[in-house]
Chain A
Amino acid sequence: MTRRIALALLLLGAPTAAGGQQRASFDHEKHRKVFPACAACHLGAAQAGAALLPAATVCASCHDGTVQPRVAWRPRDTWPATNLRFDHATHRAAIARLAAGAASACVACHAEPDAPWMVVTPVKAERCFDCHGIDAEHLAAPDAECARCHLPLAEARNLTPRDVAGFPRPPSHLDPAFASGAVHGARAAAKTPGGVLRSAQSCATCHAREFCVSCHVDAPEQPVIQAFEPDPRSVAIQARLRRPASHADPAFLVRHGAAAGASCRSCHARESCLSCHATPPAGSEALAVAAPGRGTGAVIRRHAPASHVDGFAEAHGAQAVANPTQCGACHIRPDCQACHRPAAGAGPGYHGDGFLARHPAAAYARHTACTDCHNAGSFCSTCHQRAGLVAPGPLRSGYHDAREFFIVGHGQAARQSLESCVTCHAERDCQSCHSALGGRRFDPHGPGFDAGRLRRKNPEMCTACHGAAIPG
């Protein structure tokens, strides 16, 4: 039997390279009529101190170049890295039980049931489960059972980071909910009846402290994480923070402040807040400041809230003045002043490229209130004056040349777009016709004009056209 076990192990190791030299593989099935027992070659599986693989001279007893051609096979020098606790010596008693009444106990693990003699296959974990009473697929085994067969990662020192990166992923980890603290955190923090953290028995098989720290900002404060042994190889398995479902709510960005606090500290450092907020907001004091030994946590990119869609800039006023505190969470005063007190050298900003060319359309009908940001005198009139649009001296016709009689029929345009008119015209231009003191004495007052009220509020305005004889 032991020979068969050794034979099977030989089969497992045979295809791999060792020492940079190519070794011929051993075809077990081809030799099925030669070997009646596994231990003939794999004595080490049954006998302490013996080699698991036969020496090359054993093969040469037949493959001597005369009876059979010579072969290049030789026993391997190194074995594949593994985190298995298994060794044949400690399972000898069990192997003996299996051997009772059978041709070889080795086939129980190293061959498929009812397979012909010496048709060996790689050992499956389920064969271990058969004896250990575990009724599950390998990766679906209960958490507590991992440690039965596997060493913790930190103790499996011959595994390379590449080996670790190649660990298979248990089905439980594929559940989108697994990433949440309520699932994987709760599992890690659960204790066995003996008071041992389950994480030490299951999670530690594949993970070590550095793996947890790659996400958890609050790792130093988490006893479960600190219970893991440190092992830098563990980050070969890359973890990625997933956004909780609650964060996908469009309203979350606006309302997350109310819930901000200790619940955020696993994934967020205080710097998370400062990615968007101008200064640490309420609730951020519960978060740790980024530091060595802590995870980076969620990397926040500053996103405009859902409300800041196209056109928001033109209509933000009502909201901004009703609750400036909300705006102040992300914006500082220079943000406001960048548009409301525009700098001539700043280039395109609020309006974008080419706005100068199309500003008449926006200005005539006042798409927005231009004077919230631009002084009509220093900005509009100055530019129009320098561009030659302001007629010096008496009011003359000529500029509004698309309407031959514009000067005698401009009233409608003036009352509709008076703010535009005054960027080129001063009061004297209009008073040449619209003053009670001279000219044509055309009455400029129209709908909504309350002479009595204006006179009470500021009669000086009335005197500009009426002199001391203000009517009414």
Chain B
Amino acid sequence: MTAARLWATATAALSALASPVGAQAYRARLDVGAQSVAYRGVTLDSVPVGDTLAGAGGGPVSPDGFAVTCLGADPYCTFFRPGPERQAGPVTGVADISVWGFGVPGLRMRASARVSGDLGDAKIWPGTDPEFELLEGYAEYAGPRLTARAGRITVFSRLGVAALDGSSVALRLAGRALELDVYAGWGLGRGAVLPITSSVLNPLDEYRPGKREIVVGGGVRWSDRWVDLGASYRREVDQRSEYFVSERFGLSGALRPVAGLSLTFGADYDLAQAVWGSGEATLAYRHHVFDAAAGVRRYRPHFELWTIWGAFSPVPYRSVHGRLAVRVTPWLTLRTQGERYSFDDTETDTPLADAETDGWRWMWGGTVTVWEGLTFDAGYHVEFGAGAASRGIGASASYAPRPEIRVTAHGSTLERPLEFRYSTADLTILGIELEGRVRRRARMALGLARYADSRERPDAGSFDWNQVRLTARVSVEFGRGTETTAPAVINRLPSGRVAR
């Protein structure tokens, strides 16, 4: 998408939002963000076996010093050269508008759409395709006991955040403590607002269903002062074959027996594959001086049945984790958290290329609030486990001379060794960010950061390169009608709050 087209589209969207609408009140928010970033990947190359040389470590290398991999009788050995530096300039604009006051109390229309593009010299940054996405767009009727939506909706449940084109109905009973909801429609891809049939979601040409799935789901929740309990169910069915793509059930909840103490838990079960998915339970205690939590967790990936990946038996990991934050003095807070995890037995026999079976994460840090507008923060993190590791330190100083302006300087260093590839990266970041409220309903942020990247390898694949990243964000709110004049049922429904 060219810059001209992008901005023409954004301008058109803005104009449409700014024009009078045939309703009593509306509220809109426009968020525009842009980045200037560089990226450097790798390029596959090969060399005839006969041209390889013995490297310093005894292994074969290309004539120009790259470690190569030679397999069996293959006449060529392969290796990856550092790729070219590629500049990206992703730009996105998100418009969110709610309109109500059509003469039917409780009726409103809402739409949230995104326009994306890449102003860089190569379209490499993920998330800029397609150029237009309708994140949500629905008509809604909301009463004290009923909320019904129809259109493109997003459902938040224990089973994940799912979008669909369809409708949902929620009933609130027993003084709003009990809520039942059901939804049905045509599904959209996981983590996306595009149908699974879209080529954008399938760059590797995987197996995909020819038609969108039919999604049906629902849930029940109970909430009172002491407890939140919820159960969710969702099934996705292939329209063409009428076979299951996914069928899952989930539980989630929180118990608050005494002030400050809570137990949060959740789990999901894959009915289609008859396996438990992910689950967790965390016991937390919050005191005005400290905050502590400890818990257990299990993570198992979920794959739909249109792929073969679920049949490859991915194994879960189980972990114990904890965190502690202590307000040592009114101006000093110290924090630490950690997790240790271990994968279940994979039942594989791989003596020639074993991998780590467990890992751990740990971080600690502190925040010093010199006064309300001046804050210093520093921390250290280390993560070691299967596939990759990282460790580094980071620090920031944030100064807000007035509530509507904040400037933050930050710096960090990072080491990132990989388990399966020789490429330990050292990264140093120094940056500054300015955030401010330009007017009552407009906020902006500007960021500048220098990245110094060093790839350390024992062959010619090592390189150093630097880049400067720029970010800019603007959020503007406008509307007609105020909170106090909006119908009560609309007021109960979050929409269009002033940006903060």
Contact = CB atoms under 8 A, between A and B. Distances in A.
B443 interface: no
Contact of B92 (A343, A375, A380): A343
B158 A460 contact: no
Most chain A beta-carbon contacts within 10 A, residue among B286, B309, B343: B309
A278 B225 CA distance: 21
A25 to B, nearest CB: 46
Contact of B274 (A358, A399, A408, A450): A450
Contacts of A364: 385-388, 419
A346 B190 contact: no
B252 A318 contact: yes
Contacts of A344: 35, 90-92, 116, 118, 125-128
A380 B126 CA distance: 8
A309 B323 contact: yes
A191 B399 CA distance: 51
A140 B280 CA distance: 61
Given A344-B126, A360-B418, A401 B67 contact: yes
A468 interface: no
Contact of B275 (A310, A412, A448): A448
B402 interface: no
A136 B358 CA distance: 76
Contact of A412 (B241, B286, B357, B384): B357
Contacts of B419: 364, 402
Contacts of B445: 347
Q: Please classify how large the interface on chain B is, using the bins under 10, 10 to 19, 20 to 34, 35 or more.
A: 35 or more
B21 interface: no
A365 B341 contact: yes
Nearest to A420: B387
B72 to A, nearest CB: 10
Interface stretch (B12-20, B101-109, B487-495): B487-495
B176 A325 contact: yes
Nearest to B123: A386
Contact of B262 (A307, A342, A430): A307
Contacts of B302: 371
A305 to B, nearest CB: 9
Contacts of B471: 347-348
Interface string B126-169: 11110000011000000000000000001011101100000000
B412 interface: yes
Interface in A284-316: 289, 302, 306-307, 309-311, 315
Nearest to A461: B305
Nearest to A329: B494
Contacts of B490: 279
B299 A369 contact: yes
B261 to A, nearest CB: 9
B273 interface: yes
Contact of B207 (A343, A354, A453, A464): A464
Contacts of B135: 337, 341
Contact of A387 (B83, B157, B486): B83
B6 to A, nearest CB: 10
A459 interface: yes
A411 B348 contact: yes
A409 B357 CA distance: 14
Contacts of B123: 386
A407 B78 CA distance: 13
Contact of A385 (B31, B118, B203): B203
B124 A375 contact: no
Contact of A347 (B35, B79, B243, B345): B35
B278 A369 contact: yes
Interface of A: 248-251, 255, 258, 270, 274, 278-280, 289, 302, 306-307, 309-311, 315, 317-326, 328, 331-334, 336-337, 340-348, 353-354, 357-358, 360-367, 369-383, 385-392, 396-420, 422, 424-428, 430-431, 434, 444-450, 453-454, 457-462, 464-465
26 contacts: A250-B286, A250-B287, A278-B495, A310-B337, A319-B254, A334-B31, A345-B93, A346-B35, A371-B190, A372-B160, A372-B161, A386-B124, A388-B42, A388-B83, A402-B420, A402-B422, A411-B348, A412-B350, A415-B315, A416-B317, A422-B307, A427-B207, A444-B312, A458-B272, A460-B306, A464-B207
Given A306-B260, A343-B94, A460-B241, 7 more contacts: A279-B497, A365-B359, A367-B361, A382-B126, A405-B353, A412-B357, A414-B312
10 nearest A-B pairs in the assembled complex, by CB-CB distance: A387-B41, A364-B387, A409-B353, A446-B313, A344-B127, A347-B471, A318-B266, A411-B348, A398-B78, A409-B350
